[in-house]
Amino acid sequence: MNRILLIIVLLSTGLTFSQQTSVVDFKRAQAEISFGDLLAKEVKGVVAYEFDVLKDVDSVFLDAQNFENITAILDENLEVGDYNGKQLIIKNAFKANTSHKLEITWETSPKKALYFIDWEYLGGNRQIWTQGQGKYTSNWLPSFDDMTEKVEFDLSITFDKAYEVIANGKLINKIISGEKATWEFDMRKPMSSYLVAFAIGKYVKKTTLSRNGVPLDMYYYPNEDGKFEPTYRHTQRIFDFLQKEIGVPYPWQNYKQVPVKDFLYAGMENTSATIFSDAFLIDETAFIDKNYVNVNAHELAHQWFGDLVTETSGTHHWLQEGFATYYALLAEREVFGEDYYQYKLYEYAQELLDQDKAGRSTALLDPKSSSTTFYKKGAWVLTLLYDKVGEKDFKKGVKNYLDKYQFKNVETNDFISEIEASSGKNLSDFVDVWLKSEKFHYEIIETYLRKNFKGYKAFLKLDCQASKVNCQEFLESSENPYINTEVIRQLEGNVPKSVFNLKSIKERQAIAQSVSTIPSGMRIDYESLLQDKSYATIEAALYNLWSNFPNDNKLYLKQTKGVEGFNDKNVRILWLTLALITEDFEPENNTRYFEELTEYTSPKYGFEIRQNAFAYLNQIRACKAACQKNLKQAETHHNWQFSKFAKQLLQAE
Ligand SMILES: [Zn+2]
């Protein structure tokens, strides 16, 4: 079971606009956003753009995808604009060195980039939120699909005053008028359009200050007070750490983090306002398996690498994702320690090796590379570069790079040149091997692991398939819990009883997840896994005990009754399923359990819960009328992975 959300990024190419940015410079946008019929997903607005003309030109244009109504006024008196369904073209004899104001009024019902959640249901979690990267902000706001056009966007949003509205920048005013309120936000610096964002929902927040006084606003749902601390644990520490490690102060006025329902990715680094999946709103027990620390640090690192300096095109995507992955890992080292950090780097290398073995390795500078390449190869390249030039020159180069290109766009050479300048080293061989070459040089990484990571020398030599004994003996003496976890997995169930002497919760989890046939001599130890403070362990142990010892399976159900599990209710949904198929288990409650399980397929629940419920109901052939209806609805869900899952399930029937 892989519980990691895929962060998939579609890349934009903006050829036409790369041309426009050399003749026109859009400086500032003041956008007033309001809404019409929420069931029809209607959004409307007025945006006033200020722009400078750099060279004589007879037209300028903005992106506006599939708008219903759109009109424009130039310099407060001239009605202008041809609209072709994709772009608004303003024809006028613009003279070099003049400044203009363009006011655009529009109405639309966007099919993507702006999402309306649960407005058709009672009892759901009603929200409206944006996702610009890969989807184009120009679906709801006339703006620029090209990342190289950076504008200071100030949003002003009017909505029902019972809700909270969160957007880029600092909230400078909230004006209440009758049942509505208008929230006015102020940005001081420019950003690319894909980073413009807002979220509307029922939220409360807590604020803390970073060491240098930046306000960190952390939002959560009002009825989930207990999840605040585990979710945002280490937030301030991560923030202070990254500022120090990167060597350049956080570039924006404030920082907000907002969880939303049914998000498309794990998180999105909108400038000063990260939006993340509410699957990361977690309780104390979930922290061990599914905490927000990595995503928290990753999106924060993007505030420099992506938001402050932005790639010119997809060729240089690693300058965003490789850097965010690298700095997130350093933040995790700060929080979870050296052993954890080393193990994650090892894991990234294995994922890259698997990709290589499958013949899917690409050059880091190939814009069609996989996320694995952009994120994990990118992080490894920075790790090796740091090793090559040393801490002092690496940090100096990064700082110079950020200072020089702040609020601008960058290419890979811009970064490499700064490291060459700070270190005095010629990096062309390094660039050939790690950035331009399609080949994945695992041998160099393995040498690095052996040389720098104590404990990996013996571990890397192990081959559990060739010799189980060697691996079993390794476990007797190794004290690195992360490596042990890996060895337990590689033993595929052939573990000695003595593994239960291993103490850490992750080692025990590896036992629960890899030992599916439980030897009777191991039974008592194995049963103790049900008491572990890990929902992933409980889920695996419950299922394995239930199927290995049918005479006692009611006992295991009684012990785990009432455990909900992660936000996707992994334990509860498994429990309900097992309760339904266990002979003579609480027959009086059978109908109630079936109804509860079916209820979890309904749209008022997050797609992760629904997906679990559909999968289990399907397995026991109990997806009846209500479940079928919800499955049909799921086919049209905005999350493509979930809708694909629903389609496949319907086809399989
Ligand atoms: Zn990212």
pTM, whole model, 2 decimals?
A: 0.95
Tens of pLDDT, residue by residue over 144-190, are 999 999 999 999 999 999 999 999 999 999 999 999 999 999 999 99
Residues 368-381, mean pLDDT to the nearest whole number: 98
Q: How many Å apart are CA 633 and CA 108, to the nearest integer?
A: 24
What single-letter amino acid sits at 552?
D
Q: What is the pLDDT of residue 140?
A: 98
pLDDT(403) > 70: yes
Residue 135 alpha carbon to ligand 1 centre in Å: 15
pLDDT at 9 over 80: no
Fold of the 21-194 domain = Immunoglobulin-like (2.60.40)
Report how far ligand 1's centroid is from the alpha carbon of 329 (Å): 13
Please give the pLDDT value at position 124. Answer: 87
Name residue 402's amino acid: L
- Cite the residue boundaries of each domain of the chain with CATH code 2.60.40.1730: 21-194
Compute the distance from residue 28 Cα to the ligand 1 centre, in Å: 26
Residue 38 scores a pLDDT above 80: yes
* Most distant pair of Cα atoms in the chain: their distance: 87
Q: Mean pLDDT throughout 58-87?
A: 94
Tens digits of per-residue pLDDT, 236-272? 999 999 999 999 999 999 999 999 999 999 999 999 9
How remote is the CA of residue 66 from the centroid of ligand 1, in Å? Answer: 28
SS3 letters across 385-417: HHHHHCHHHHHHHHHHHHHHHCCEEECHHHHHH
Query: How far, in Å, are 77, 301, 554 from residue 523 at the CA level?
Result: 82, 46, 16
Closest by alpha carbon to 341, among 351, 331, 349?
Answer: 331
Residues of the chain with CATH 1.10.390.10: 203-307, 322-452
Mean pLDDT of 611-630: 97
3-class secondary structure, 26: strand
**How far, in Å, is the centroid of ligand 1 from the Cα of 606?**
23
Return the sign of the alpha-carbon dihedral for residues 449, 451, 452, 455. positive
Q: For residue 19, what pLDDT is reported? A: 58
Tokens of 140: 């709801």
* C-alpha–C-alpha distance, residues 261 and 124, integer Å: 10
**What's the gap in Å between 473 CA and the centre of ligand 1?**
40
Element at 571 (helix H, strand E): helix 570-581
Mean pLDDT across 307-318: 97
Instruction: Indicate the CATH number of 203-307 among 1.20.1730.10, 3.90.700.10, 3.40.50.11440, 1.10.390.10.
Output: 1.10.390.10
How far, in Å, is the centroid of ligand 1 from the Cα of 286? 23
How many residues appear in the chain? 653
Residues with CB under 5 A from ligand 1 (ion): 321, 324
Q: Each residue of 475-534: pLDDT tens digit?
A: 999 999 999 999 999 999 999 999 999 889 999 999 999 999 999 999 999 999 999 999
Domain 322-452 has CATH 1.10.150.20: no
pLDDT mean across residues, the chain: 95
Cα(325) to centroid of ligand 1, in Å? 7
Cα(385) to centroid of ligand 1, in Å?
20
> What's the CA dihedral at 355, 357, 360, 365 to 10 degrees?
70
517 within 8 A of 493, measured Cβ to Cβ? yes
Each residue of 439-467: pLDDT tens digit? 999 999 999 999 999 889 999 999 999 99
Distance 326 CA to ligand 1 centre (A): 11
Tell me how far the alpha carbon of residue 197 lies from the centroid of ligand 1, in angstroms: 16
Q: What pLDDT is recorded for position 12?
A: 37
> Residue 258 C-alpha to ligand 1 middle, in angstroms?
16
